[in-house]
C-alpha cells in the first residue's frame, strides 16, 4: 500500500481510484509554488507520482510521515507534492534558511573580524575582541600571535584581555536536548578549533585491558581526563560515553564504556565549557612561543573609541561553505547571532537571529507564522518547517542571480563533497544534485536542486520524521528519488 496523505490505511484499489480522479480533475496549467495551498499534495504527473510512491515503500512509512515537494524552476510548476504544508523538524535543513538570510542581509564583502587592541588607558594590556568567526584554529592564532609580537614591545610583561561582547553570554540554543552535551560545542564570540577538544581513545591488547586516553588539542590547566573505559571483546562492544563536569579550576572529562580490540583508535570531539578561557589560554601559549610574556588573562571590554592595532578577518563565503558542505553547527549558530546583531544593533542573540530570519522570509513572500525558528543550525527540536517553505526559500535564492551562484557553490554535491560525498556516488545524480542534508533522532531531510537529463532544473524538498530506527532506509529513499529525477526527462513523466 503506498503512503497516503491522511495517514490512514486505504485499500490499494480505492487509493488508485482517488489518484485517477485527482489527476483527471487537475489543471494542466503551471502551478506556482506559492499558490498551491492543498495540505495533502499534488500529482499532476501520474508516472512520476507512481515511481515516488513505489520508493516510499509500505514497510518504510506506515508508522512514519513524509513531506515532499518537487518544483520545476525552469517552468515554475509543481511536479509532485505530498503533505507539502505539514510541519516537520528540519534538522540541518534549517541551515538553508540561515544561509539565505546571510546572503540576503550581509554584504558580499562582509568579514568576521577579530580585532586586536593595545589598551589606551593601560598600555600593557592587549585586548582581543571576537566577532564569532567559527573557523578560527590554532594556525590562525599562531599567525595572530606572530603579528602581535612584531608590533608590540616584546620585552614587557602583558595582560591579555578577551572581549566577547559581540554576542550574548548564552552558550546554547533554545530547545537543545540535555544529552547533546558535551558533544555540541557552546556558542561564543570566541571560537577556536570548533570550541571542542578532541579525545583520542586507544584499546589495549586484550579484552578487559584498560584503554589509553589522550587530549589532542588542549592547553595545560584547562581540562583533565578521568578514564574508566576498557577494551571490549569485539567491535560490537564499542560503547564509549563521555561526560564533562565544569569545575572551579579545571574541567573533568569522564570516559566510560568499552572499545573493540581491533579498533586502531576512537576520536571524539568534546565541547569546552568556557570558549573564552580556552581561546585566551591557547593564545597566551602562542604569544609565549613568539617571545611575548603574558602574566595573566581575563575577560573584559575593548574601548569602542580605540582603533585596533590590526584586524584578522575571514570572508563570509568561507563560513557559508563550511556550514553547508560539512553541516557545521557552530558555523550556523555564529552566523545566526551575527545576523541578529546586524538587524538589532545589539549583541548577537537568539531573539535577534529569529528576527533576522523572519525578516528575510517576509522579503521572500513567505508567511513566517508557518515556520518555527529557534536556532540557526537545526539542532533544536523547536525548529519547524514545511516542504513548501523550503521550496520557496530555494526558489527565492534561484531568482536572485546575484547571490544564487554563491549559494549553489556552497551546497554539498552528490557523490563529490561534503555530507553527500558518499551518497549517490556512481549514479546519474553524481555532480548534478546539490542539496543540504539534515538529521535528528527520528528525522531525516534532503533539500536542494537537481538537473534532469534534458536540462530542466528542479528544486526539491524531502522531509521524513517519526521513525524508531536509524536513518539509513530513509536516506536511501531520498537518494532513490534524487537519482530518478536526475536520470529522467520531462517526457518520462
Residue 285 domain-assigned (yes or no): no
Please indicate, yes or no, if residue 324 is contained in any of the structural domains.
yes
- Domain assignment of residue 413, given as a range: 12-106+320-492
Residue 301 domain-assigned? no
By DSSP bridging, strand 241-245 and strand 251-256 are antiparallel
3-class DSSP state of 396: helix
Q: pLDDT exceeding 70 applies to what percent of the chain?
A: 90
Q: Which 3 state secondary structure label does DSSP give 115? A: strand
pLDDT of residue 36: 43
Pairing of strands 77-82, 41-42: antiparallel
Q: Where in 97-139 does DSSP place strands (E)?
A: 111-118, 125-129
Phi and psi for 352 in degrees, rounded to 5? Answer: -65, -40
DSSP for 449-485, please give it. EEE-TTS-EEEEEEEEE--SS-SHHHHHHHHHHHHHH
Residue 488 has pLDDT above 80, yes or no: yes
Q: Is 26 helix (H, G, I), strand (E, B) or coil?
A: coil
The CATH number assigned to the domain holding 451 equals: 3.40.710.10
Is pLDDT of 115 > 50? yes
> pLDDT of 237-278, one tens digit each?
678 999 988 766 788 999 999 999 888 899 999 999 999 999
For residue range 70-99, list pLDDT tens digits in order: 999 999 999 999 999 999 999 999 999 999
Range of lowest pLDDT (108-122, 235-249, 439-453, 457-471) = 235-249
The answer to whether residues 2 and 15 touch, using CB atoms and an 8 Å cutoff, is yes
What mean pLDDT is predicted for residues 453-476? 95
**Does 40 reside within a domain?**
yes
Q: How many CB atoms lie within 10 A of CB 193?
A: 23
Residue 104 pLDDT > 50, yes or no?
A: yes
Q: Rounded to whole angstroms, what are the CA distances from 238 to 242, 251, 256?
A: 13, 25, 11
Q: 263: helix, coil or strand?
A: coil
The whole-number pLDDT of residue 407 equals 98
**Cβ-Cβ contacts under 8 Å for 119 (sequence gap 6 or more):** 125, 126, 127, 161, 303, 306
Of all residues in the chain, what percent carry a pLDDT higher than 90? 77
Residue 325 resides in a domain: yes
Nearest-angstrom CA–CA distance, 446 and 327: 12
Give bridge partners of residue 367 from the DSSP assignment: none
Please give the Cα distance from 311 to 307 (Å, whole number).
Answer: 10
Tell me: pLDDT of 390 over 70. Answer: yes
Domain assignment present for 138: no
Question: What are the DSSP calls for 285-322, one per residue?
Answer: HHHHHTT-EEEEEEE----TTSPPSEEEEEEHHHHHHH
Q: Residues 138, 141, 143, CA angle at the centre, nearest 5°?
A: 115
Q: Which helix (H) or strand (E) holds 337?
A: helix 329-344
The rounded Cα 210 to chain-centroid distance in angstroms is 36
Report the alpha-carbon distance of residue 114 to residue 280 in Å, rounded: 13
String of DSSP letters for 137-202: -HHHHHHHHHHHHHHS-TTSEEEEEEE-TTB-S--S-TT--GGGTTTSPPP-S--SGGGEEEEEEE
223-227, strands of its sheet edge to edge:
223-227, 251-256, 241-245
User: Is 50 exceeded by the pLDDT of residue 7?
Assistant: no
> Which pLDDT score, from 0 to 100, does residue 79 have?
97
179: CB partners within 8 A, 6+ apart: none
| Total domains in the fold of the chain | 1
| Residue 492 three-state SS | helix
List, in order, residues 6 or more apart from 380 with CB less than 8 Å away. Answer: 173, 174, 175, 176, 374
Q: Is residue 231 part of a domain?
A: no
Residue 379 within a domain: yes
Closest to 131 in 3D by CA, of 335, 355, 377, 353: 335
Is pLDDT at 14 greater than 50 in this prediction? Answer: no
Amino acid at each position: 500500500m503506498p503512503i497516503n496523505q491522511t495517514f490512514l490505511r486505504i485499500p490499494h484499489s480505492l487509493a488508485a481510484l482517488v489518484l485517477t480522479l485527482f489527476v483527471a480533475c487537475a489543471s494542466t496549467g503551471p502551478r506556482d509554488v506559492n499558490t498551491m495551498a492543498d495540505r495533502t499534495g499534488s500529482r499532476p504527473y501520474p508516472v512520476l507520482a507512481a515511481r515516488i510512491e513505489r520508493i516510499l515503500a509500505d514497510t518504510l512509512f506506515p508508522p512514519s510521515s513524509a513531506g515532499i515537494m518537487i518544483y520545476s524552476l525552469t517552468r515554475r510548476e509543481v511536479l509532485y507534492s505530498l503533505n507539502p504544508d505539514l510541519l516537520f523538524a528540519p534538522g540541518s535543513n534549517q541551515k538553508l534558511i540561515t544561509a539565505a538570510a546571510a546572503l540576503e542581509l550581509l554584504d558580499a564583502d562582509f568579514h568576521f573580524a577579530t580585532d586586536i587592541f593595545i589598551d589606551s588607558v593601560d598600555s600593557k594590556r592587549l585586548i582581543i575582541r571576537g566577532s564569532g568567526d567559527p573557523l578560527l584554529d590554532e594556525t590562525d592564532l599562531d599567525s595572530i600571535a606572530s603579528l602581535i609580537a612584531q608590533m608590540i614591545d616584546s620585552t614587557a610583561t602583558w595582560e591579555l584581555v578577551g572581549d566577547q561582547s559581540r554576542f550574548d553570554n548564552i552558550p546554547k540554543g533554545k530547545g537543545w536536548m540535555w544529552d547533546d552535551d558535551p558533544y555540541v560545542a557552546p556558542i561564543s564570540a570566541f571560537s577556536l578549533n570548533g570550541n571542542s577538544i578532541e579525545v583520542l581513545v586507544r584499546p589495549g591488547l586484550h579484552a578487559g585491558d584498560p584503554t589509553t586516553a589522550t587530549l589532542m588539542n588542549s592547553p595545560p590547566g584547562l581540562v583533565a581526563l578521568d578514564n574508566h573505559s576498557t577494551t571490549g571483546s569485539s567491535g560490537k562492544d564499542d560503547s564509549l560515553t563521555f561526560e564533562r563536569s565544569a569545575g572551579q579550576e579545571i574541567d573533568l572529562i569522564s570516559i566510560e564504556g568499552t572499545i573493540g580490540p581491533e579498533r586502531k583508535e576512537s576520536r571524539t570531539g568534546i565541547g569546552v565549557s568556557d570558549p573564552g578561557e580556552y581561546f585566551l589560554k591557547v593564545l597566551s601559549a602562542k604569544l609565549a612561543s613568539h617571545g611575548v610574556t603574558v602574566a595573566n588573562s581575563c575577560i573584559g571590554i575593548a574601548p569602542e573609541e580605540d582603533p585596533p592595532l590590526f584586524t584578522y578577518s575571514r570572508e563570509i563565503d568561507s563560513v557559508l561553505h563550511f556550514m553547508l558542505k560539512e553541516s557545521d553547527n557552530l558555523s550556523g549558530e555564529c552566523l545566526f547571532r551575527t545576523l541578529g546583531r546586524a538587524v538589532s544593533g545589539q549583541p548577537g542573540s537568539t531573539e535577534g537571529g529569529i528576527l533576522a530570519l523572519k525578516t528575510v522570509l517576509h522579503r521572500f513572500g513567505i508567511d513566517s507564522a508557518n515556520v518555527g525558528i529557534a536556532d540557526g543550525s537545526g539542532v533544536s527540536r523547536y525548529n519547524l518547517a514545511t516542504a513548501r517553505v523550503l521550496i520557496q526559500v530555494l526558489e527565492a535564492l534561484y531568482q536572485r542571480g546575484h547571490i544564487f551562484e554563491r549559494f549553489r557553490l556552497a551546497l554539498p554535491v552528490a557523490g563529490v563533497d561534503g555530507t553527500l560525498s558518499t551518497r549517490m556516488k556512481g549514479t546519474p545524480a553524481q555532480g548534478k544534485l546539490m542539496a543540504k542534508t539534515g538529521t535528528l533522532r527520528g528525522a531525516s531531510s534532503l533539500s536542494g536542486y537537481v538537473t534532469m537529463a534534458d536540462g530542466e532544473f528542479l528544486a526539491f524538498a524531502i522531509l521524513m520524521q517519526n521513525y524508531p530506527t536509524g536513518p539509513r532506509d530513509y536516506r536511501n529513499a531520498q537518494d532513490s528519488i534524487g537519482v530518478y529525477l536526475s536520470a529522467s526527462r520531462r517526457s518520462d513523466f
